Structure 1
Amino acid sequence: MPVTDITTDPENLQMTLLAEFDAPATRLWHALTDPRQLERFWGPPGWPATFTAFDFAVGGRAEYHMTSPHGEASRGAWEFLRIEDGTSFEVLDSFVDEHGAPLEGFPSMRMTFAVDAAGDGSRLTSVTYFTSLDALEQVVAMGAVEGSRLALNQLDAVLQSLREYAQGKGTRTELLDDTHVRITRLIDGPRDLVWRAHHDADLMKKWLLGPDGWSMTECEIAQKTGDRYRYVWEQDGVPDSGFGFEGESLLSEPTRRAVTTEKMIGMDGPSTVNDMTLYEEDGATLLTILIEYPDKDTRDMILATGMTEGMEASYARLEEQVIRA
C-alpha cells in the first residue's frame, strides 16, 4: 500500500502522512492538482469526492463534497495559500456548509503537500497543522487517520492508466477490513454503455448470469433512488432451482454511481450495501463495487461461495454480448 506512515504529534499540534508511489513526481503532482483526478481518491472508499470549484492559484479556492452510500454529504473547502509549481502547495482546509461557509464548531487546518522524487518513483509528504490540541483530537476522533490511509491508498490506481492498472487481470477482490470488500473489473467499453447494461432489463438478461447454464427469469430494475429491484435466476432444465436477490436503491447518480442494498430472497438477516462506481478513460471503464457486509462471518461466507468467479463469468459475458455486439 502507498501510505507508509501516519503520525500525530500532540506537542507540536501536527499530523503527518507519508506515502510512496511507483510513478514519477510529475505524475503524482498532476494527480494532486487536477480536480478530476482528485475525485478518484480524495474521499475514502464509500465517500467519493466531487470537486465543484478548483481555482489553483494563490488566493484561489477549491470546494468539494464527499457523499456517503446513503446520500449524506460532508463538505470541505481549500484556500490556496502557497504554490511552488511541481513541488509543493499549502492550503487552509475547512469544513463548510452547503453555501461554502465554515461550519461552526469544526476547526480549520493548514495543510501542506510536498512531492519529491524517491528512487524510480515519488514520495508525498502531507502535514496538517492544528490550532489547538482540542482541534487535533476532534479531527482524529472523526476518523482522519484511517480515512486518510484508505483514501490515499487508492492513488496507485489513479497514477497508472486504466489499461495498465486493470486490463487482462479479470475481476479482483480486495479485503479492506472485516466488513468491506472492493471488487474491480475493467470493462473494455464506454461508461454510458456499461451503465445502460446495468439498467436495461433486456441487456441484463444477456450477461448477468454467472456460470453457464443459468437464465435470468425475473429482472425488475431500480432506475432511481428509492426504487426497489428483484432479480431471479434458474438453472436451465432443473426444476425448482431458482434463487434471487432483492433490494432498494439508496443512491443513483447516472452514469457514475449506483448504491443498492442486497438480500437473498426468502432469507432473514441484514442486507449488504453495494456501492458501484464507473470511471471511463481511453474508451474503457473501471467498474468498482464496494460491498459493506454486516459482519466478518457473513463476508467470509459469501466470498466462499465463489462470488468472484461468478462475477468474472458475468463481466466477460457483458463484454462479449453487450459491448462487442
Structure 2
Amino acid sequence: MPVTDITTDAENLTMTVVADFAAPIERVWSAYSDPRQLERFWGPPGWPATFTAWDHSVGGRANYTMNGPRGEASSGSWEFLSIEEPTAFAVLDSFADADGQPLEGFPAQRMSFTFEPTGDGTRMVTMSHFDSIEALEQVVEMGQSEGIRMAMAQLDAVLQDLRDYAQGKGTRTELIDDTHVRITRLVEGPRELVWRAHHEAELMKQWLLGPDGWEMTECVVATAPGDTYRTSWAPVGDTEGQPFGFEGEALLVDAPRRAVTTERMTGMPTETLNDLNLYEEDGATLITLLIEYPDKETRDMILATGMTDGMEASYARLERELLAV
C-alpha cells in the first residue's frame, strides 16, 4: 500500500497523509495535473470520480463527482490556491452540488500536496487544514482517512505503463478489507470488444466457462439498470460436478466502461455486489472487478472455492477465442 502514515492533529486542526510511490516526481505530478488520470484513482474503490470542469491555474476551479455503485453521487470542487510544478500545489476542497457550488453545512478544507524525490521514487505529503475541531471530526467520522488510503492504493496502476503493471501476471485477487475484494486481469484487446464479450450472450457462451469441461446452458443478459440476468452452467461428457447458475440485477450500466450488478447463486439468498470496470491503454484492456460481500465469512468461503483459478481459465479463453481473432 502506498500510504505509510496518516496523522490527525486536533491541536493544529490538520490531517497529514504520507505516501511513497515507485515513480519519478514528474510522473506523479502528471497524475495529479491531468483530470483523465485523476479519474482513475481520485475516489475510493467503487466510487470513481468524473471531473466535469478543469482549470489548472491559480484561481481556477475543478469540479468532480464520485459515483457510487448503487447510483449514489457525491460531488466536490477544488479552487487552486497555488501551483509550483512539479513539487507542490494547494487547493480549497469543498463538498459541492451538481453544479460545483459549495454545500452549506459541510466542511471545506485547504489541502496542500508536496512531492519530493526519494531513492526509490517519490514521497507525497498531503496536509488538510480545517477551520475548527468540529470540521476535522466531521470528516474523520465520514471516513476520509480510510477513503484516502484506499484511493491511493489505486495510484500504482496509473503511474505504470499498463503492460508493465499487469501483463503476464494473470488474474490477481487483492483483499481490500473484510468485505471487499479487487480482482484484476489484463487482456490483449480493445475495450469495446471486451465489453461486448461481457454483455452479448453469444460471445459470453464462448469464453465464460471456467475450467475446461463445462458449457453455459443459459444466458440472459442485463443491458440496462433494472434489468435482471441469469447464467447457468453444466458439466460436459465425463466432467464431474453439478449444474449451477447465478442471477441478479443491473444497477448501473455505463458502456463500455462500467457495469454494477447484484449477484447470487440461483436459489440462494446470499448476495454480492459486483462492480466491473474496463480501462484501455495501447490496445490492452485492464479488467477490474470489485466485489462486495455481506461479511468476511462469506468472502472467505467463496474465495476458497477456487474462484480465482476459474476466472483465470475464462480470461485466458477470452484472449484465445475472441480477442486474438
Match of 2:318 in 1: 318
Match of 1:50 in 2: 50
Q: Distance in 2 between matches of 1:199 and 1:153?
A: 29
- Shift in alpha-carbon separation, 1:59–1:318, aligned structure 2, 3 A: same
Q: Distance in 2 between matches of 1:65 and 1:187?
A: 29
Q: Is residue 121 of structure 1 aligned with residue 121 of structure 2?
A: yes
Offset from partner CA, 1:240-283 (integer Å, 9 cap, x none): 9311000000111111100000000011x330000010111111
Offset from partner CA, 1:218-253 (integer Å, 9 cap, x none): 000000111100000010136993110000001111
Give the TM-score, by structure 1 length. 0.98
Instruction: Give 2:305's aligned amino acid.
Output: T
* Shift of residue 175, structure 1, vs aligned partner: 0.6
* Shift of residue 108, structure 1, vs aligned partner: 1.1
Identity %: 68
Q: Is residue 193 of structure 1 aligned with residue 193 of structure 2?
A: yes
Instruction: Give 1:259's aligned amino acid.
Output: V
Match of 2:2 in 1: 2
Q: Distance in 1 between matches of 2:298 and 2:323?
A: 33
Q: Distance in 1 between matches of 2:121 and 2:84?
A: 20
Match of 1:26 in 2: 26
Correspondence list, 1:171-320, <5 A: 171-237=171-237, 241-267=242-268, 269-320=269-320
Q: Distance in 2 between matches of 1:107 and 1:178?
A: 29
Give the TM-score, by structure 2 length. 0.98
Q: Distance in 2 between matches of 1:140 and 1:248?
A: 33
Q: Distance in 2 between matches of 1:202 and 1:311?
A: 19
Match of 2:79 in 1: 79
Offset from partner CA, 1:152-193 (integer Å, 9 cap, x none): 111111110110000000000001111110000001111111
* Shift of residue 306, structure 1, vs aligned partner: 0.4
Q: Secondary structure at the match of 1:300?
A: helix
Correspondence list, 1:105-144, <5 A: 105-144=105-144
Q: Secondary structure at the match of 1:198?
A: helix
* Shift of residue 213, structure 1, vs aligned partner: 0.6
Match of 2:65 in 1: 65
Q: Distance in 2 between matches of 1:240 and 1:300?
A: 21
Instruction: Give 1:144's aligned amino acid.
Output: Q
Instruction: Give 2:260's aligned amino acid.
Output: V
Q: Distance in 2 between matches of 1:319 and 1:62?
A: 39
Provide structure 1 residue ranges, at least 5 long, that are not aligned to the other structure. none
Instruction: Give 1:27's aligned amino acid.
Output: R
Instruction: Give 2:4's aligned amino acid.
Output: T
Q: Distance in 2 between matches of 1:190 and 1:164?
A: 17
Q: Distance in 2 between matches of 1:10 and 1:107?
A: 15
Q: Is residue 91 of structure 1 aligned with residue 91 of structure 2?
A: yes
Offset from partner CA, 1:64-110 (integer Å, 9 cap, x none): 01111101000000000111111111101000011221111101111
Q: Secondary structure at the match of 1:119?
A: coil
Q: Distance in 2 between matches of 1:256 and 1:43?
A: 16
Q: Distance in 2 between matches of 1:211 and 1:222?
A: 24
Q: Secondary structure at the match of 1:164?
A: helix
Alignment RMSD (CA, Å): 1.1
Provide structure 2 residue ranges, at least 5 long, that are not aligned to the other structure. none
Query: Aligned pairs, how many?
Result: 324
